[in-house]
Structure 1
Amino acid sequence: MSLDIRDLSKRYGNTPVFSHVNLSVAPGEFVAIVGESGVGKSSLLNCMAALDDWSSGTITHDGVNLGALNETQRAHWRREKLGFVFQAFHVLPHLDVAQNVGLPLLLLKRPDPARVAHMLQAVGLGDLGERLPAQLSGGQLQRVAIARALVHRPSLLLADEPTGNLDPTTAAQVMDVLQQQATQTGAALVLVTHSEAAAARAQRQLRLSATGCR
């Protein structure tokens, strides 16, 4: 299920955020987007996730034009097709680790404790399912976020600076898990990062600038 972006631009009033972005990502492909701070990398990722609107151009996923969907349809698309790994983790503090990971399946009305247990084991947290987020390290929290993003087997996986809050050793471990799990599920992976080490793992690196993505 490929992602196809054509001539995408976003503006706030008369101020461009990014312009004329063209990008295709095939199933199972890993693409890293790099660029200076303030060029709109996170904004571009939010548009790919249909979390934000864009000014012109098209985003198509598996033949579905995301710009033609209303808010309810976009929410259903995200729930079914998308996994998103945030730099700030965004785990729910009142839920334990297993409940956080299983949340996408609950939203899809497909609870699957065995799948949750499998994902926790896959990211090295098999014995920590009953712990609360406050009891985990930053690296462990990011692995929770990765497991949650992949538990429902999304076809598109987006990651926004997933190692930005981590030390180099933990960052490398988190990237190992992210890349391995994306490969196993066949998800198209798009990573936005400032980290040269993380970007170097990708099959392609694209640089976002004020004039587009190349």
Structure 2
Amino acid sequence: MAANASNPISSQPLLQVQDLAKRYGQAQAQSTVFEQISCEVQVGEFVAIVGNSGVGKSTFLNCLAGLDSWQQGQVLHQGTDLSTLDETARAIWRRAHLGFVFQAFHVLPHLDVAQNIALPLMLLGRMNTQGEQRVQQVLKAVGLDGLGQRLPQQLSGGQLQRVAIARALVHSPQLLLADEPTGNLDPCTAQQVMDLLLQQTRDNGTALILVTHSADAAKRADRVLRLTASGMQTEPAL
């Protein structure tokens, strides 16, 4: 699928990964998760990451978010090397530039739907009148209009995933990372969530990196990359 004409892919990469390697353990006892991983993601591009279970797809996504460390290589966001940032600086970078959709939703049970969605704006100090309007706008966009005061335990799994998507997009990030966002959903709800995710990222010009086992989800991407322990290759068009 080509990028939306209203959000053309820029010639300048938004994200660059260069010779990335992730290992666990010390010295001679090290275990390699993956190595020699290089790729680029353009502004507004939708890239799907596929691969066998246990190859480190979620770990790779955590590295792109600066949530995990790595032993070799670089992750560059518009020229900024995340490995040079300490934990505080990475957290500030994530707040400003990144949205993350987790498979397990990770909504806070003691906050209502609107409060969960508003969290990124609160952390950025943008929860003013305009911020409140943005929360309502996103609620409507993800099909949760009128449900803002409900608690998470009052929602279905598909609705909770919509909350997670809204929270990840409410602050209009440049980059959205999604880790198996349809993995816990039935096929019909999964398709609805993918429709929503793709529509929202296209409408906002957000680059999307999706880790998935779903061939149906992957075939909707601009590019599909297969992660292996020894590298990353572009998959033939689906």
What TM bracket, shorter-length normalisation?
over 0.9
Please state if 1:17 is matched with 2:36: no
The 1-side partners of 2:199 and 2:19 are apart by 31
The 2-side partners of 1:8 and 1:184 are apart by 31
Residue of structure 2 aligned with 1:154, choices 164, 167, 173: 173
Q: Deviations over 1:116-152 (max 9, x none)?
A: 0000000000111010000000000000000000000
The 1-side partners of 2:79 and 2:202 are apart by 22
Structure 2 counterparts to residues 51-130 of structure 1, below 5 A: 51-111=67-127, 112-130=131-149
- 2:134 aligns to what SS in structure 1? helix
Please state if 1:191 is matched with 2:210: yes
Q: Which residue in 2 is equivalent to 1:208? A: 227
Residue of structure 2 aligned with 1:28, choices 40, 44, 55: 44
The 1-side partners of 2:45 and 2:62 are apart by 19
Please state if 1:48 is matched with 2:64: yes
**1:186 to partner: Cα distance:** 1.0
Code of the aligned partner of 1:8: L
Code of the aligned partner of 2:18: R
**1:40 to partner: Cα distance:** 0.4
Please state if 1:6 is matched with 2:18: yes
- 2:203 aligns to what SS in structure 1? helix
Q: Deviations over 1:152-200 (max 9, x none)?
A: 0000100000000000000000001111111111111000011111111
Number of equivalent positions: 214
Code of the aligned partner of 2:55: V
Residue of structure 1 aligned with 2:55, choices 39, 45, 58: 39
**1:62 to partner: Cα distance:** 1.4
- 2:126 aligns to what SS in structure 1? coil
**1:87 to partner: Cα distance:** 0.1
Tell me, which stretches of 5 or more residues in structure 2 are unaligned? 1-12, 234-238
The 2-side partners of 1:67 and 1:178 are apart by 29
Q: Which residue in 1 is equivalent to 2:9? A: none
Please state if 1:168 is matched with 2:168: no
The 2-side partners of 1:85 and 1:6 are apart by 24
Q: In angstroms, what is the RMSD of aligned CA positions?
A: 0.7
- 1:106 aligns to what SS in structure 2? helix
The 1-side partners of 2:102 and 2:18 are apart by 25
Percent pairwise identity: 65
The 2-side partners of 1:63 and 1:182 are apart by 22
Tell me, which stretches of 5 or more residues in structure 1 are unaligned? none
Code of the aligned partner of 1:46: N
The 2-side partners of 1:90 and 1:151 are apart by 16
Q: Deviations over 1:73-123 (max 9, x none)?
A: 000000110000000000000000000000100000001110000000000
Code of the aligned partner of 2:20: L
The 2-side partners of 1:56 and 1:174 are apart by 35
The 1-side partners of 2:67 and 2:112 are apart by 26
